[in-house]
Amino acid sequence: MIKILKYGEVPNSEIFARTEPTVNVEATVSEIIANVRAKGDAALYEYCEKFDRAKLDSLAVTPEEIDEAVAAVEPRFLEVLEKAAKNIRAFHEKQVRNSFIINNESGIVIGQKVIPVDRAGLYVPGGTAAYPSTVLMDAIPAKIAGCREVVMVSPPNKEGKINPVILAAAKIAGIDRIFKVGGAQAVAALAFGTESIPKVDKIVGPGNAFVAEAKKQVYGVVSIDMIAGPSEILIVADGLSNPRHVAADLLSQAEHDKMASAVLVTDSASLAEKVSAELERQIPLLERAEIARVSIDNNGKIIVSPTLSVAIDIANELAPEHLELCVDNPFDYLDAIRHAGSIFMGRNCPEALGDYFAGPNHTLPTSGTAKFSSPLSVDDFVKKTQYTYYTKEALERVAHDVEFFATKEGLTAHAKSAVVRLEEEQ
């Protein structure tokens, strides 16, 4: 049963506690990465046979396999994928940044260029957890950014096939190349390249502890989106909220995995009790009841706050991945929310809208990292470079200022380079 905590009557350490993963896979992942770097495709085939029980003839997915997969997907689902993709494109197109140029002073031009990374790599989980939504959320911003090539990796099943819905989403999103490989070995292949899989500049996408650790270890060789922790939802709800709806929304995250965190913060003790009862009623009805049960019992909590204002303060401190504002006038509170991955406004906006359909990205900062990081966006697939141009006359106006500044830092060669051209003229 979920814990009910009264804010101010229990230690803050209990209010703000997070369950930390205890599994340590650092050494195993390090060995896998080293093996892939040394043996390339051969290592990938070995790991595919070992972990996925699949003996492959080729790592690459052919156009014929993609067409076969699309044909196998229910037409209604293809239609929904297209609608979701349209919404995701419309939202992320607004994120495109422009280069700029400043030429306000005679003889001086400065500016910034916004340049897409050449090649983006997308990791998409497979097996029992097939998430075509992740394909759309990760690939569409990369394509909008203008990446020259978007490469996807996903583990195959025992027959050597990637889930058809994953391939259908990949086609809708416009992914350029797809490979049948998963786990830490897939991340290593994207980071360093093999005979079949090209080296990428950025790796994005969720995965298990091995994938997360691999992304952590290859960071610096390539860029990554984030190190994702367990799924989280925090709901701020007042006493007028429907407990059935609130419980359902909490369980939408609790069913992800046993480490997921579902938290309700409310100013109503009555709602707290009703939501607790609703959770007990709804959990046995879920297909993933066992997972949700462990998540709610171990990581779930209901915090009873004296006011909604304090509830917002608690939410900001926890900085959740998903934040629902279940109140009548959610825009009254929007400015007060400073730390959250994605905010769902009002009583008719379940977090599932964001997972699949609304348009904002569902790849979000977890574990409190929303205090300093952002959802996946077009910005993740671009980099910026800057340029400076001075005429001879413009340099003459500032050269001695630069010389003076450099000398104060003890860098006399810097200072000399600023004035040497003036000396030549003399």
Q: Kindly report, residue by residue over 215-238, the tens digit of the pLDDT.
A: 999 999 999 999 888 899 999 999
CA atoms within 13 A on the CB side of 237: 31
Q: Is 322 a catalytic residue?
A: yes
DSSP state of 60: B
DSSP state of 365: -
Q: Give whole-number Cα distances, 141 to 81, 146, 424, in Å.
A: 16, 9, 51
Q: Say which of 65, 213, 255, 321 is annotated catalytic.
A: 321
Is residue 362 scored above 60 in pLDDT? Answer: yes
Q: What integer pLDDT is reported at residue 424 of this predicted model? A: 65
Is residue 426 scored above 60 in pLDDT? Answer: no
Once rounded to an integer, what is the mean pLDDT over residues 184-205? 98
Beta strands 322-326 and 342-345, pairing class: parallel
* Residue 319: burial class (beta carbons within 10 Å; 0-12, 13-18, 19+): buried
Binning the chain into helix, strand and coil, the percentages to the nearest 5 are 45, 20, 35
Is residue 411 scored above 90 in pLDDT? Answer: yes
Cβ–Cβ contacts within 10 Å for residue 223, how many? Answer: 18
Q: What integer pLDDT is reported at residue 18 of this predicted model? A: 82
Beta strands 108-116 and 100-102, pairing class: antiparallel
Q: What integer pLDDT is reported at residue 70 of this predicted model? A: 96
Share of the chain above pLDDT 70, in %: 98
* Angstrom distance (rounded) from CA 292 to CA 290: 6
pLDDT band at 127 (very low <50, low <70, confident <90, very high): low
Predicted confidence (pLDDT) per residue in 377-395, tens digit: 999 999 999 999 999 999 9
Once rounded to an integer, what is the mean pLDDT over residues 356-383? 96
Beta strand ranges found along 249-379 (DSSP E): 261-266, 301-304, 322-326, 342-345
Q: Say which of 92, 245, 256, 322 is annotated catalytic.
A: 322
Predicted confidence (pLDDT) per residue in 137-151, tens digit: 999 999 999 999 999
Name the pTM for this structure: 0.93
Predicted confidence (pLDDT) per residue in 73-124, tens digit: 999 999 999 999 999 999 999 999 999 999 999 999 999 999 999 999 999 9
Mean pLDDT of the chain: 95
Is residue 128 scored above 70 in pLDDT? Answer: no
* Residue 76: burial class (beta carbons within 10 Å; 0-12, 13-18, 19+): exposed
Share of the chain above pLDDT 90, in %: 92
* Angstrom distance (rounded) from CA 321 to CA 367: 7
Is residue 23 scored above 80 in pLDDT? Answer: no
Once rounded to an integer, what is the mean pLDDT over residues 300-326? 97
Cβ–Cβ contacts within 10 Å for residue 16, how many? Answer: 12
Rg over alpha carbons for the chain, rounded to the nearest Å, is 26
Q: What integer pLDDT is reported at residue 21 of this predicted model? A: 66
Q: What integer pLDDT is reported at residue 425 of this predicted model? A: 59
Once rounded to an integer, what is the mean pLDDT over residues 140-165? 96
Q: Is 245 a catalytic residue?
A: no
